[in-house]
């Protein structure tokens, strides 16, 4: 699947989910997540991504799935990689798309 538009950084989604029309604070939520305030702030501001550990904590806090948060991060990272490597020319090793490793049992 190819994503045509730039996906939001997962931190933006967390920020919207937690701080739109609420009285929550970054420090208060960081405390609930049992993480440092600066770590949480870096995520909210798009300077760090969502790790598996963070995805799990967010899933507990927001009653979502950890997989949802990991998928958002994956989609964002892949979009960034495609943009960065757009001009990269790598030829396929094999002519067919369904290559099977002959050494696998």
Q: Provide CB contacts within 8 A for 65, sequence distance 6+.
A: 59
pLDDT at 99: 60
Distance CA 62, CA 101 (A): 42
- pLDDT bin (cut points 50, 70, 90) of residue 59 is very high
Q: In whole angstroms, what is the distance from residue 61 CA to residue 87 CA?
A: 41
> 92: which 2 tokens?
């396929």
CATH 1.10.260.40 fits 10-84, yes or no: yes
CB 29 within 8 A of CB 40: yes
pTM: 0.81
The burial of 8, by beta-carbon neighbours within 10 Å (0-12 exposed, 13-18 middle, 19 or more buried), is given as middle
The 10s digit of each residue's pLDDT in 63-82 is 999 999 999 999 999 999 99
- Reported as a single tens digit per residue, the pLDDT across 3-48 is 568 899 999 999 999 999 999 999 999 999 999 999 999 999 999 9
Of 95, 85, 90, 54, the closest CA to residue 72 belongs to 54
Predicted pLDDT of residue 66: 98
Query: Do 49 and 73 touch, CB atoms closer than 8 A?
Result: yes
């Amino acid at each position: 699947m190819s994503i045509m538009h730039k996906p939001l950084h997962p931190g933006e989604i967390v920020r919207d989910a937690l701080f739109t029309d609420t009285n929550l604070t970054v420090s208060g939520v960081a405390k609930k997540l049992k993480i440092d305030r600066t770590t949480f702030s870096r995520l909210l501001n798009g300077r760090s991504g969502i790790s598996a550990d963070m995805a799990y904590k967010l899933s507990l806090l927001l009653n979502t799935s950890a997989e949802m948060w990991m998928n958002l991060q994956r989609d964002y990272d892949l979009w960034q990689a495609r943009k960065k490597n757009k001009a990269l020319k790598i030829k396929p090793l094999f002519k067919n798309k369904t290559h099977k490793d002959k050494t696998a049992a």
